[in-house]
Amino acid sequence: METRMCCLECGEALRGRIDKKFCNETCRNQFHNRLNVEEGRVMREINRGLRRNRKILFELMESGKRTIQRSWLLRRGFDFELITAVHEKQAGNPCFLCYDFGYIPLDENRFQVIRLPEI
Ligand SMILES: [Zn+2]
């Protein structure tokens, strides 16, 4: 049984070595450039969300508020999925960080906002 391999970029049938993936350098470069562009787009989107989270926490602390409702954060576009680290000084008492700012759950709806190195 013969297995025909196709170029990963253009789909043309490949001839030559069995481990060949692309028909030429142009296809190889286009394939990898496309992957890098997509990777860059995903990373920019995540970084934008992390910066937005940090800005929200920063502005909150600037205003002197230290305890905040979940609903308030959500209304301002805070994304609880995006954090840079989790510090857990005591078991079951995590602090979720967005760079140098973070929040500690006080109960289901309230958080204490902190800035490193407070924890
Ligand atoms: Zn090709």
**How far is Cα of residue 72 from the mean position of the Cα atoms in its chain?**
22
pLDDT along the chain (119 residues), means of 10: 80 90 96 93 95 97 94 96 91 91 95 89
The confidence score (pLDDT) of residue 3 equals 65
The confidence score (pLDDT) of residue 2 equals 57
The confidence score (pLDDT) of residue 92 equals 82
Reference 59, options 82, 77, 32; nearest CA is 77
The confidence score (pLDDT) of residue 66 equals 92
Determine the distance separating the centroid of ligand 1 and the alpha carbon of 109, expressed in angstroms.
Answer: 54
- pTM (whole model) above 0.95: no
The confidence score (pLDDT) of residue 18 equals 85
Determine the distance separating the centroid of ligand 1 and the alpha carbon of 42, expressed in angstroms.
Answer: 26
- List the shell of residues around ion ligand 1, using CB closer than 5 Å: 7, 9-10, 12, 23, 27
End-to-end CA distance of the chain: 64
